[in-house]
Amino acid sequence: MFEDIIGFIRDQYPGVETIPLHAPVFPGREKAYLEECIDSTYVSSVGPFVEAFEKALADFVGSRHAVAVVNGTQALFVALKLAGVEGGCDVLTQSLTFVATANAIRYAGAQPVFIDVDEDTLGLSPRALEAFLQSHAVISAGRLLNRTSGRPLAACLPMHTLGHPCRIDEISRICTEWGVPLVEDAAESLGSFYLDRHTGTFGRLGVFSFNGNKIVTTGGGGIIVTDDEALARRARHLTTTAKVPHPWEFLHDELGYNFRMPNLNAALGLAQMESLPRFLGHKRALAGRYAGFFEGTGWRFVQQPAAGMSNYWLNALLLDDEPQRDAFLRTTNEAKVMTRCLWRPMHMLDLYRHCQTGALPVTESLYRRLVNLPSGVFL
């Protein structure tokens, strides 16, 4: 059966000897915009492409404000700070995520608390979140505390895994009821919707990534979206070294960060945004072909959840167990078809083994069974 899968994948990428997991494509005005950027000499974090890219992204996802920064990890870090996360706090998140999610929490001086995910969405489980809060949350002196650690519960940070929307409406409701600020890690989900609303727009802040393996790439980059004008203004200030505008003086009124996206990267991103609808159409068509191929095989191709529309950033297949997963990965990669397992869950990494967790049976099952299939746009 593995050989049949390899053959099917090769049919999707004719003429490609080594099939990557997700390579970028540049079919539009990328070169023209980059040349324009270079000719203008505005190649750093000041230039018209930054503002144009921010507007294009905000318009696409339906957010009032967008602030572009150097990468998605730093976007998460700044978003958490804007939400009030600081040293000595806890942040509720999922263990089944890329390490940047947990790292951003630690950069802010807080500790991650790992909650289980739902198998159909691959994202944070509202039921597990509510159960954790009912068991561990207590209000003391007007603050919501984690009775186990004694630290304030400062935020909830769910992630839309592989581009599939989690049950973000239920998560948002729970966070509102408990008074926990919601920040969305939408790094992988540009072009994904839940209940006809774009991911990243359900919480106080959302974050997207434009790394080289994302649907839209700026080479390296991230963006913070919010409907709150004050938060957006503060995001711009913090990520521009907290510099106070002045004709010639260098005045900085607090500890800031040199995180703003360069004009060069934004020029690339703007051209990519112009092709995004075309990219999404190709990716959804590829996912449909995968779904048809695996129907009746006994293995489950991961499809968009009910009430969701996924961008299918990385297509995924659920196998029977870990030995079968490893055999699949070995066979496909030896055949020059790049496949990958999910990230090792955060609670299994040495640097996060000390963190508090809920029960994580779904997280551990998915890690041992799920593989990612080649998912790049082929034009």
Q: What is the pLDDT of residues 194-233, one digit of tens each?
A: 999 999 999 999 999 999 999 999 999 999 999 999 999 9
Instruction: Quote the longest CA-to-CA distance of the chain.
Output: 69
Q: In whole angstroms, what is the distance from residue 91 CA to residue 94 CA?
A: 10
CA distances 43 to 150, 250, 264, Å, are 47, 21, 5
Q: Is the dihedral of CA 308, 312, 314, 316 positive or negative?
A: positive
SS3 247: coil
* Run of H or E including 250: none
Pairing state between β 111-115 and 308-309: unpaired
For the chain, the distance separating the N- and C-terminal CA atoms, rounded to the nearest angstrom, is 28
pLDDT 10s digits, 255-274: 999 999 999 999 999 999 99
Identity (one letter) of the amino acid at 17? E
pLDDT band for position 27 (50/70/90)?
very high
What pLDDT is attached to residue 288?
A: 98
User: What pLDDT, in 10s, does the model give residues 87-117?
Assistant: 999 999 999 999 999 999 999 999 999 999 9
Average pLDDT score over the chain: 97
Global pTM value: 0.97
* Dist CA 178 CA 189 (whole Å): 26
- Cβ-in-10-Å burial (0-12, 13-18, 19+) of 131 comes to middle
Closest CA to 365 of 126, 128, 96, 165: 96
